[in-house]
Chains A and B, each alone.
Chain A
Amino acid sequence: MITVEHLSKKFGDLVVLKDITIEINKGEVISIIGPSGTGKSTFLRCLNLLDRPSSGSISIDGVNILEAKADVPKVRQKMNMVFQSFNLFSHLSVLENLTIGPIKLRAMNKQEAEQKALNLLKLVGLAEKADNYPDELSGGQKQRVAIARCLAMDPEIILFDEPTSALDPTMVSEVLSVIRRLAKEGMTMAIVTHEMDFARDVSNRVLYMDEGLIYEEGTPQQIFENPRKEKTRAFINRIRSCNYQISSPDYDLYAMNAEIEAFCEKQILPRKTRHNLLLLVEELLQLYNPFLRTMPLDLTLSYSEKKESLELVCESKGEAVNPLAHNLLPDELGLIIINNLAASIAYSRVNDTNRVIVLMKKS
């Protein structure tokens, strides 16, 4: 239905979209997720030519819509868009908002357009608001009107650009339920959203965008439960991390503690968790100490907001050695403490690197 190849978009020197290639098939519901500022909305705006792509091609049913002779208004009718901020005409009634497009652009007669508009307002549960003006509606109602207005043009695909981002949380569900209904009825849709549960439920396919690319795509199950790539995992699990390089046995423990405390402060971790984390790091460093002079330690601390879990990854390049299995200290006190604080400890050798992953017990 829609084929996008090597699409890029620059604003001056700023490259927002680098190289997007994707096919959207009829009846598909595609959710586009990813951090802010990674080009998701720009991608949608390029699809229906609100922003002109810098290079690449977009074909609908085999016709390249980027060619000079392309009928842009016709393209936008086929590929209509619902915006974050509704974009309703405030000087027109709800009914007029729905009929102006069909009457002006599709030469539909007024009576037919009004009948269709009323049917669509019923579909989104707002038939009784036909004569109201947008300012008299709640945010959720405005967005439902915007969806109905979009449907009034009989689009082949609807592009949703963060349709619930501007809504009060209490109004999100009423809009999402309308979109869910459209999905059930087989409407082709591309939805930029931050509503992860919704994206997981409603989509056939999920695109994770990052760095101006479709960084990873897959079924909702694959993307949400088993993302293959690191940035996707970090986004899905809402992971925040910080990294420390320790290359001398005379490392500054207190400077490191201060950084860990600041990290914990940002994640609003409980006092006990902070205490246990500082203890775990100190004990690990004690075990790594004899190796630090020849094998610097790269320590990454990650917190998954979604799983509420803390993970420490200790990596050291050089000879194959697991410092937790080669305790050079006079006793096993440190190991006992580590084992008590950890839910799991795993050693692996990856190329020339020793990797120990410690998942902290929840405190």
Chain B
Amino acid sequence: MDMQTRKETNATVVTINGRLDAVTAPEYEKKLNELIAGAEAGFVVDFDQLDYISSAGLRVLLATAKKLKGKGGQIRFANVKGPVKEVFDISGFGSIFQMEDSVEAALAKISA
């Protein structure tokens, strides 16, 4: 698992790399929970470097979004493309989540 975070004025940008699958999903979930517990309320998840996602990864994203919503927070996805986008589309996630073409566009939506 390789996850980087950086703080922007209105949100935390989370960049995930490689694979979000049954093996890495628990670690991602743990890290995201830690961020939420640390009072972070705005998230942009950057998928630019993600090559693969399975249902295990989708569940982590869904659980994270639910937790944030419970706290009045927001989450936006950026750079969802290629095979990852296809999995989003076939699972119906494409219509559940707000997706933007760039991190900047996602950040702009959060501040809106």
Contacts and interface: CB of A to CB of B under 8 A. Distances in A.
B87 A253 contact: no
B59 A331 contact: yes
A230 B21 CA distance: 35
B18 to A, nearest CB: 11
B22 interface: yes
B83 interface: yes
A336 B90 contact: yes
Main secondary structure, interface of B, reads helix
B38 interface: no
Given A254-B23, A286-B22, A337-B90, A279 B52 contact: yes
A333 interface: yes
A333 B55 contact: yes
A286 B52 contact: no
B83 A337 contact: no
B72 interface: no
Contact of B21 (A272, A282, A329): A282
Given A253-B21, A253-B23, A272-B83, A333 B91 contact: yes
B59 A283 contact: no
A340 interface: yes
Contacts of B55: 283, 286, 329, 331, 333-334, 336-337
A326 interface: no
A22 interface: no
B59 A330 contact: yes
A330 B62 CA distance: 12
A336 B23 contact: no
Contact of B91 (A254, A278, A286, A336): A336
B54 A337 contact: yes
A337 B91 contact: yes
A253 B92 contact: no
A275 B92 contact: no
A286 B56 contact: yes
B58 to A, nearest CB: 6
A340 B23 contact: no
A253 B87 CA distance: 19
Contacts of A275: 52, 83
A213 B74 CA distance: 69
B98 to A, nearest CB: 19
A60 to B, nearest CB: 64
B92 A282 contact: no
Given A253-B22, A340-B90, A283 B83 contact: no
Interface in B9-51: 21-23
Contacts of B23: 253-254
Interface in B51-100: 52, 54-56, 58-59, 83, 87, 90-92
Nearest to A253: B23
Given A279-B54, A279-B87, 13 more contacts: A272-B83, A275-B52, A278-B52, A279-B52, A282-B22, A282-B54, A283-B54, A286-B54, A286-B55, A286-B56, A331-B55, A333-B91, A334-B55
